[in-house]
Amino acid sequence: MRTRAAVVTVVRGRADHLARQRRLLAAGPPVTHVVVGMGAPPALDGDGPVTRSLTVPAPGPLPLAHARNAGAAAALDGGATLLVFLDVDCLPGPHLLGRYAGAAARMPDALLAGPVTYLPAGVLPERDLHDHTAPHPARPSPDDDVLLAEPRRELFWSLSFAITARAWTATGGFCEDYTGYGAEDTDFALASGLPLYWVGGAHAYHQHHPQARTDPARIAEIIGNARTFHRRWGWWPMTGWLRELADAGAIEFDPGRELLRLR
């Protein structure tokens, strides 16, 4: 059966990031782009692939989990057999869709994640992306077309990943107890029960922007989501971020005392 891919992107603002992403998707193989606006309709122009857009309410912190679930539902309603989740600040490499499709044919019941390059400030290429390829060192980057099994599902990240429609339906989607920034992707990887594979050559390129976790509003969201995760799994996620925020004096974090709060 021919793969029918849909890219799911959730967004609020970030119009320039979305426009660049859509131009690159339009230049690649045929794909449906499902764009989910959080709290406001997404800013769409004519330079993009076939598009389905929808809006979900966002009266408080960004409902990232709910928005991804809504986007997936819309993609499945449109007949997609492969869901590719791509954050709005990520540009697809020229082989991203093809390599995700190839990996899904080999591993239809798995989480499939590709390497991501974080572009430095001032670098916004829309062609010759391969010249800037420097995958984030905290995640594996196998050779092209290699599938590398990853037993550490806590390394899963949702900014670029693929999953077949069948596997997605079996997972039940992202837990919507999480709102705002952080931990919902680690929860999804654990709760899904699916094996995780890194897909060699399925490169995405993260457009530079200031770190969200330094925003005071995001810090409160991180704390709330970390507490939700701890209730569900019995251990703390995002410990690197939490220790970084504690060292900066923004929060109190003592895992031994089960202490996590704003200062």
Express each pLDDT in 11-24 by its tens digit.
Answer: 998 999 999 999 99
Residue 107 CB partners (closer than 8 Å, separation 6+): 147, 195, 197
DSSP annotation string for 50-114: EEEEEEE--SSS--HHHHHHHHHHHHHHTT-SEEEEE-TTEEEPTTHHHHHHHHHHH-TTSEEE-
Query: Does the structure show a pLDDT above 90 at 41?
Result: yes
Query: Does the structure show a pLDDT above 80 at 214?
Result: no
C-alpha pair distances (Å), 166 with each of 30, 87, 110, 242: 21, 22, 10, 35
Question: Token pair 């550490």 is at which residue?
Answer: 152
Residues 42-57: what's their mean pLDDT? 90
Every domain of the chain and the residues it spans? 5-206, 212-262
pLDDT digit string (tens) for 120-179?
887 777 778 888 899 999 999 999 999 999 999 999 999 999 999 999 999 999 999 999
- Percent of the chain residues topping a pLDDT of 90: 78
Q: With beta carbons less than 8 A apart as the criterion, state whether 65 and 178 touch.
A: yes
197 vs 209: CA distance, rounded Å: 28
Assigned CATH class of 5-206: alpha beta
For residue 179, how many C-alpha atoms fall within 13 Å in the half-sphere facing its CB?
11
CA dihedral 155, 32, 107, 109 (to 10 degrees): 80
How do strand 5-11 and strand 82-86 relate by DSSP bridges? parallel
30 vs 6: CA distance, rounded Å: 9
pLDDT at 99: 97
A 10 A CB-CB count for 202 gives 30
Mean pLDDT for all residues in the chain = 93
Query: Does the structure show a pLDDT above 70 at 211?
Result: no
Query: Does the structure show a pLDDT above 90 at 205?
Result: yes
Q: Could you tell me the pTM of the whole model? A: 0.94
User: Residue 1: which pLDDT band, with cuts at 50, 70 and 90?
Assistant: low
